[in-house]
Structure 1
Amino acid sequence: MVHLLKLEMKKFNLGWYVKGAIIANIILTAIVCFVIYIAQSEGDIPISTYQDVYVLIGVSVRATFIVFASVLIAKLVIEEYKNKTILILFSYPVSRKKLIASKLTLIAFITLITLMLSNIIVAGLFSIINSYFPIVPFTLTTNQFIGEVINMIPFVIASTGISLIPLYFGMRNHSVPATICSSLLVVAIACYYNPEIPLAAFIPLQIGLAAVGVIIAFRGIRNIENEDAM
């Protein structure tokens, strides 16, 4: 499995993903700063505690990289079917299940690491910017930062599972647009945040959606022997 993971990483050269993630983190930091600044001025979004800040950061990061994960699914799985290059892989003396499992494992691993690092980076950048140019009327301490990063871990793990849901829609007709568009629908549900209906902060819902994503991935691997690559 490890050998297959290495081959997948070499085959698809994920440098574009790293560059995209870096740019996304910079843009997310700017957006979060702008949104919180406007919220403080207009009062449209209640930002009264440091927890509110980290919830907004967490939701923004998760929404962004669930979509990024759908792009990975599209490139590593769906396009292989669409371009018929999957037939070459299936001709190798390796189990189809192992081949697909390695792709999905790589996608999940990359998404997990990116979500965790991006939460830390965006939250850290916001804290640094806020220390020089006060955006919120309270101080974000190191202990609060560490505590909130730890609190983000269950949501990061859940979001990794949730990011696999678009696989179902993409595999139906081997459609790249369906894969990416479905991720936007998933984001609209999983990352919906309203003080009255905070779905994005409701961990049972996140775990439930993550379970759906894992089941979709498991069924995709289990049924791959019967999947028509044509």
Structure 2
Amino acid sequence: MLHLMKLEMKKFKFGWYIKGALIANIIITALFVSMNYIQEVEKDVIMTNADDAFLLIGTMVRATFIVFAAVLLAQLVIEEYKNKTIMLMFSYPIKRKKIIASKLTIIAILTFITIWLSNTVVTGAVFVLHGYFSFISYSITFTDWMQQAINMIPFAIAAAGTSLIPLYFGMRKHSVPVTIVSSLFVVSFACSYNPGFPVVMIIPIQLILAAIGMIIAYLAIRDIEKEDAI
């Protein structure tokens, strides 16, 4: 499995993903800073403490990289089926299940790592920038930042599983647009925040969504040895 994952990483060259993640982190940080400046000017209170700030950052990060994961699904799986290049891989003396499982594992692991690192980087950048520019009216301490890095782990794990849900929709007609659009619907629910029912904060719901993603991944490979890839 590890060998297959290494081959996939070499084959698809994930440099674009790393660059995209860095740009996304910069944009999320800029948006957060801008929102705080607007809050101060307009006196429209959105965030009153560090927890509110971390919730907003975490939501933006998870939403962004669940969509990124859909792009990975489209590239590593859906396009392979659509272009029928998957048949070449299936001709190798390797079980089909392992081939598809390696692709999905790469996506889930990358999503987890990127969400956790991005959340840590963005909150760290906010902490550092606030020390120079004082653009927030509440305090964020180093301890708060460290605690947030720890608290984000289960949410990042859940998001990694949730990111596989678009696979179900994309595989129905081997459609790249459907895969990516469906991820937006997943994000709209998984990252929704309503004061009475803040889905984005409820870890049991996030874990249920992750379980659904894992089940979809399992169903995608369960009978693949018997199915015609075309």
- Is this a same-fold pair by TM over 0.5? yes
> Is the partner of 2:192 in helix, strand or coil?
coil
Deviation at 1:32, TM superposition (A): 1.3
Aligned residue in 2 for 1:112: 112
| Residue 59 of structure 1: how far off its partner (Å) | 0.3
- Compared CA separation, residues 39 and 195, structure 1 to 2 (3 A): farther
* Aligned 8 A contact 2:127 2:142 in 1: no
Partner of 1:18: 18
Superposed counterparts of 1:137-148, under 5 Å:
137-148=137-148
Spell out, residue by residue over 1:99-152, the C-alpha distance to the aligned partner (whole angstroms, 9 max, x if none): 000000011111111111100111111111111111221221111111111111
Q: TM-score, normalised by structure 2?
A: 0.96
1:102-181 superposed matches below 5 A: 102-181=102-181
CA 87–45 in structure 1, closer or farther in 2 if over 3 Å, else same? farther
Alignment correspondent of 1:64? 64
- In 1, Cα distance between the equivalents of 2:197 and 2:80? 39
Query: 1:44 deviation in Å?
Result: 4.5
Equivalence map 1:28-67=2 (5 Å): 28-42=28-42, 44=44, 46-67=46-67
Conserved? CA contact 2:49–2:139, under 8 Å: no
Structure 1 unpaired stretches of 5+: none
Query: Aligned partners of 1:185, 1:11: CA distance in 2, in Å?
Result: 30
Partner of 2:225: 225
Distance in 2 (CA, whole Å) between partners of 1:72 and 1:37 is: 35
CA 1:43–1:225: 2 relative to 1, 3 Å? farther
State the number of aligned residues: 230
Residue in 1 aligned with 2:101? 101
2:47–2:53: 8 Å Cα contact kept in structure 1? yes
Residue 45 (structure 1) shift: 5.1
TM-score (norm. length: structure 1):
0.96
The match for 2:194 is: 194
Q: CA deviation at 1:43?
A: 5.0
In 2 relative to 1, CA 130–85 (structure 1 residues): closer, same or farther, beyond 3 Å? Answer: same
Q: Is the 8 A contact 2:192 2:200 kept in 1?
A: yes
SS at structure 2 position matched to 1:225: coil
C-alpha distance in 2 between matches for 1:9 and 1:222: 23
In 1, the alpha carbon distance for the partners of 2:187 and 2:41 equals 27
Hey, what's the Cα distance between the residues in 1 that align with 2:40 and 2:93? Answer: 60
1:33-58 CA distance string (max 9 Å, x none): 11233234445553111010000000
Shift of 1:23: 0.7
Residue 190 of structure 2 contacts residue 206 of structure 2 at CA under 8 Å; is this kept in 1? yes
